[in-house]
Chains A and B, each alone.
Chain A
Amino acid sequence: MKVIDLRFKEPGCTGHPVVRLNNRLRELNEDRVLIRFNLEDIPLKALELLIGRYGYRVDEVRNVNDYVEVVAIKA
């Protein structure tokens, strides 16, 4: 399963996790994706709406230490 790791913020205008998530999803063609992120960066509801735009939905949410893992599958 492809992993999109958004836990670390990169500097610059395109470094925010939301921008990176959009960029990665735009180029991916996978049925299942694992997304790691911090809830302070992307609230879960926002993530659901954002991935929906690329045809994914949340299949599973796991709280791991101080971050969250979401398994997204093609809807």
Chain B
Amino acid sequence: MGDWCLSLALNVNVIREDFPLIKDRKIVYLDNAATTQKPIQVINAISNYYMKFNANIHRGLYELSQEASKLYEEAHGVVAKFINAGSWEEVVFTRNATEGINILAQALVNRYLKPGDEVVISIMEHHSNMLPWIRLSETYGVKVKVVGIDSDGLLDYDELSNVLTPRTKVVSITHASNVLGTLNDVRRIAKLGHEVDALVVVDGAQSVPHLPVNVRELDVDFMVFSGHKMLGPTGIGVLWGRKDLLEDLPPVLQGGDMIKYVGIEVKGGVLINHRIIYNDLPWKFEAGTPNIAGGIGLAEAVNYLIRLGMEEVRAHEVELTRYALRRLDETLKDDIKILGPKHPELRSGLISIAFKGINPHVVASLMSTKNIAVRSGYHCAQPLHEYLGVYDGTLRASFYIYNDVDDINAFISSLEEVINVLSK
């Protein structure tokens, strides 16, 4: 610890004041890749909505409904600006990143994909960006290709470029791995994908909360992410897509609010004809009553992040990661293996650790007796763990805006202690 001079980009003491659950420091919360804590501003925005504006949107002519509709529509706009979308209509609210990819996969198979067409993913995908495509291979004969990684945990770009063919219709890869921390070069992936006219989908679940993301600069076609991993409430996520593409895709969920007109012709009690005109974007993809409060809460979370500055959020996490990597190397090098790239600039603010002969669940359980919240297991990326030969899973610590050096010191001391106990 001695000669380490750390200058963090964010003022953690001020930030913590906004987080009721961690303000008193009773818990060292390092499971931010799973979900983040919520600032009081987000909690208040949600309760304020229910206390002052609650009504169903787009349905009532009364003022309350119109106010609720306006707030919900504005929330789309706040998110659109945050990721530099072309317009607010390109932002579809979903339940989470998982639902976003599922909706997209189903829409794409209904419009573009034919048996034998190829979808390219990587071995570092979360199950959410793997299973929806595998399902298409089971049900529609779509071929799924899986690109590997190198010994540093970086995507194998040569392999990616080699597996692409004129039959590749979709390249769907994560921006940041939730296990390795690896940050993928999305621009490069997009360029390679577009060279064969494939659509490029990015899982932004672990990037949008942590670094500046500009979908137009990245030149991708679709991106998904979850509100609850970026200070927002659970049950709200985003599917962003280029407007022309979203306009062309058929809706997946059917029901209220996603149509402009429905006419049916019934003869002898049987439907013989129908005419449906779908609603404009983004409503075409948001069937049924949406999570209005969730959308409003997400917009508040985005505003909170904008006030901090995403460059600062990223710089803060890079410094914490650099410090944690170095301290782990100093103290526990012989007992652990850290997955992913060595350099903090190449990774997001999370660290996954594999052990020799010690189960990560046992470690996490013992750490929880000291009020340290870390995650153990496969982190919904079991194929990646098997690919790496880490069959027992890993222990993952993931950082965010309210974490500081004290949290990392507490984590490492506790880890040292637990390893000592278990090695005896």
Interface residues of chain A, those whose CB is within 8 Å of chain B, are 13, 16, 18-19, 22, 41-43, 45-46, 49-50, 52-53
Contact = CB atoms under 8 A, between A and B. Distances in A.
Nearest to B369: A53
A46 B421 contact: yes
Given A43-B362, A49-B366, A49-B369, 10 more contacts: A13-B377, A13-B380, A16-B359, A16-B377, A41-B359, A43-B421, A46-B362, A46-B421, A50-B366, A52-B369
Interface in B315-345: none
B114 interface: no
A45 B424 contact: yes
- Between A18, A41, A52, the greatest number of chain B beta carbons within 10 A of the residue's beta carbon is seen for A18
Contacts of A43: 362, 421-422
Contacts of A49: 366, 369, 421
Contacts, number: 36
Contacts of B303: none
A43 B365 CA distance: 12
Interface of B: 359, 361-362, 365-366, 368-369, 377-378, 380, 421-422, 424
Contact of A18 (B359, B421, B424): B359
Contacts of B365: 18-19, 22, 46, 50
A19 B369 CA distance: 13
A22 to B, nearest CB: 6
A18 B369 contact: no
10 contacts: A18-B365, A22-B365, A45-B421, A46-B366, A46-B421, A49-B369, A50-B365, A50-B366, A52-B369, A53-B368
B362 A18 contact: yes
Nearest to B364: A18
B367 to A, nearest CB: 10
A42 B369 contact: no
B378 to A, nearest CB: 6
A41 B378 CA distance: 17
A52 to B, nearest CB: 7
Contacts of A50: 365-366, 369
Nearest to A46: B362
B422 A46 contact: yes
A16 B369 contact: no
Contacts of A16: 359, 361, 377
A42 B380 CA distance: 23
B125 to A, nearest CB: 16
A36 B278 CA distance: 59
Contacts of B368: 53
